[in-house]
Structure 1
Amino acid sequence: MTGGTGDDMADQRATIRTFVAKHIGGAEFADEDDLFATGYVNSLFAVQIVMFTERTFGLAVVGPDLDIANFSSVDRIDTFVTKALNR
């Protein structure tokens, strides 16, 4: 998805949103909601979202990338993936 089109970016966000939705038990959420602060997910989800990100987008999440802030909302995950794919 490096240098992707607007459609690719929308697909990326939709993929992330679908994954998150599967893990929050049907709760309503906005893309900017801090998923950990809302209590929708637990610490196990942090591991799952990192693994999902690596597997789905072909990224290696290591070192400073492992900051929980990168994975706290759909918006932040999307931003992290976009930046990582464009390195």
Structure 2
Amino acid sequence: MTTTNDEQDAAAIEAALLELLEARTKTDLTPDQELFASGLVSSMFAMELIVHLEQTYQLSITGPDLKLDNFRTVAKMTALVLRLRDDSTVHSGA
């Protein structure tokens, strides 16, 4: 079975986010685990996550992308990073 670069990137992003969040929460997490409803992540930490994602993946998360739904799970954050990265590649002509 072969994997695409996007699949490899998604796996790497997901693994890095899980590592960060597990270290911060001292809890084993799954990619689809609800972070806010479970009380593991606060709104203040959500702001730290936004800054972390922007700095780590050279993204700008603004406007409609700042909705809580994009940060509820590791899987949703991974999808956001991939989409914003793809959008910036399209807009920059790379």
TM range (shorter): 0.7 to 0.9
Aligned match of 1:11: 12
Specify whether residues 62 and 5 from structure 1 end up closer, same or farther in structure 2 by C-alpha distance, changes over 3 A only. Answer: closer
Cα RMSD, aligned residues only: 1.5
Q: What are structure 1's unaligned runs of at least 5 residues? A: none
Deviates more, 1:27-36 or 1:73-82: 27-36
Looking at secondary structure, tell me which structure has more helix per residue: 2
Please report how far the alpha carbon of residue 38 of structure 1 lies from its aligned counterpart in structure 2 after TM superposition: 0.4
TM-score, with structure 1 as normaliser: 0.86
How far apart in 2 are the matches of 1:5 and 1:29? 22
What is the rounded CA distance, in whole Å, between the counterparts of 1:66 and 1:5 in structure 2? 23
Instruction: Name the aligned partner's letter for residue 85 of structure 1.
Output: R
Equivalent residues in 2 for 1:36-55, closer than 5 Å = 36-55=36-55
Q: Which residue of 1 aligns with 2:67?
A: 67
Structure 2 unaligned runs (5+)?
Answer: 88-94
Q: RCO higher in 1 or 2 (8 Å CA, sep ≥ 6)? A: 1
Give, in whole Å, the separation in 2 of the partners of 1:5 and 1:38: 29
Asked whether 1:85 is paired with 2:85, we answer yes
Identity %: 26
CA contact (8 A) 2:18 2:29 kept: no
Distance change in 2, residues 1:5/1:80 (3 Å)? closer
| Displacement of 1:34 | 0.9
The Cα shift of 1:9 comes to 2.5
